[in-house]
Structure 1
């Protein structure tokens, strides 16, 4: 397996390969605070996870000095955290979650930004695993340190300055994965201090449209109907860089493995009143 074909694996595949010595399993479950979750992602992992799974916390494996949530850390911090989780060179990493790709797609993208190619997402997450008869574990997973060599792909991550240079340019497509009400400025942002609206020139493909009712990602044929020109150079954005990674994952399924994510996304863009914001339908 490599960066071609499908970036997702099935529960059946994982059951067949779970005992392979190079397979590492990661639970990256994350719940947005404004949804008033009954538990944290770490608590969900502790309650029950796929055997061998370690917990990847996007709020801790992050640049915690940034004013914006779960921003990508530098290579030194990331490699240190990955090593302590037993994720490293020569590993085939399978990431899953318990919340419809939140935040398995984000962890998948982060690992790829840091140069790890052999990383995949479990389609349907924990629900698919249980539906196929997979067992759960509630014991901590001894990770065992493994060397992680970062080879940063700066082309896969964008910041506000990069995005400002893209405004008014047709060379890169900007896809915003937020719900359409927030994109068009009809509905408020969950972060009350931010206005809603969108970056000039961006298009709206809500992340919820990419996932089927059973929590699996839609087929390549269905995704092609949703994604205009899926092979074009693309930057994905959303509220804070989590749903945008689902867009990147979906486009990888369609063969475009080079989709960048605007890490700060709307939380960063809209925090500066000097940046242009568009509201209303085109």
Structure 2
């Protein structure tokens, strides 16, 4: 069966916003090294204005609190419990957006897919596209009714350090890195203090910014084919980035091109470069 596009437009969402099975998620997130970063800053933006009916999903809160790494995927039990309370569950068609184009929303899209909920789309262009389209805005938080969420864990969409370490020398696996080229090559520093820059041996630089057009939307299939086409025939695809957020944007692009089986290295470079004596390539 053909793979559905992972994105929806602002106009599509406007015309379906009142559909009884549609639920909208605001996944706005501000990277901790950003000048705009402050405790609760992203949620305050949500409180000031959001798409009507949208619930707020915090990737730093719905996460594995026992891990020293940022916003790691939580256990299925925790994920299910949290999204049930947000009124998100079985039978719902989910649409997720954020205020950083769709970087954090791409991660939330991936999280739901790992947990077995494939009926989820990302708002192309994010909050900026919604505002530009004249979509309605609300500042009142919804009061969702709890909804049952059935987890069907898709472990093939998730990779850890040991698996990626093995994959880095496996000719059957291609690893795509979403960080800027300067960090990939080791020329520029990492934003997280104490981390060396460079890349996983054998990986390919695929900056997330190259996958987005000038309007802030995911590039067309033809444009993405020009960027990713040489990797599409790889038996196995894994994406990585700084901490597992922008890597999900590569997953969106691959999905648009018909590869819905690519996995994400959760923890990504933060995990890799934090290992004892990590194997780091440069140039």
TM-score computed with the length of structure 1 as normaliser: 0.96
Q: Deviations over 1:132-153 (max 9, x none)?
A: 1101101111121100000000
1:37-58: CA deviations, max 9, x gaps? 1662211111110001000000
Map of 2:263 onto structure 1: 260
Partner-residue secondary structure (3-state), 1:173 = strand
Mapped to 2, the partners of 1:3 and 1:273 lie a distance apart of 43
Q: Is the 8 A contact 2:80 2:150 kept in 1?
A: yes
Report the counterpart of residue 274 of structure 1 in structure 2.
277
Write out per-residue CA displacement over residues 85-110 of structure 1, whole angstroms, 9 at most, x where no aligned residue: 11100000000111111300000000
Q: Which moved more, 1:161-170 or 1:197-206?
A: 161-170
- Contact 1:28/1:95, CA 8 A, preserved across alignment: yes
Q: How does 1:119-138 map to 2 (within 5 A)?
A: 119-138=120-139
Q: Does 1:230 align with 2:229?
A: no
Residues 160-205 of structure 1: CA deviation (Å, up to 9, x unaligned): 0111111211111100000000000000100121100000100001
Distance 1:221 1:167 in 2: 28
Residue number in structure 1 paired with 2:191: 190
Q: Find the counterpart in structure 2 of residue 5 from structure 1.
A: 4
Deviates more, 1:222-231 or 1:16-25: 222-231
Root-mean-square deviation (CA, aligned residues, Å) is 1.3
SS at match of 1:128: helix
Aligned equivalents of 1:117 and 1:208: distance in 2?
25
Residue matched to 2:31: 32
Q: How has the CA–CA distance of structure 1 residues 231 and 95 changed in structure 2, closer, same or farther, with 3 Å as cutoff? A: farther
Provide the rounded CA distance (Å) in 2 between the counterparts of 1:231 and 1:156.
17
Q: Residue 125 of structure 1: CA displacement?
A: 0.8
**Could you tell me whether the CA contact under 8 Å between 2:103 and 2:248 is conserved in 1?**
no
Runs of 4+ in 1 over 6 A off after TM superposition: none
2:280 & 2:134 partners in 1: Cα distance? 48
Deviation at 1:63, TM superposition (A): 0.1
State the secondary structure of the residue aligned to 2:12: helix
Task: Tell me the distance in 2 between the aligned counterparts of 1:38 and 1:241.
Answer: 18
**Contact 1:28/1:102 (CA < 8 Å) preserved in 2?**
no
Q: Structure 2: any 5+ residue segments left out of the alignment? A: none
Match of 2:95 in 1: 94
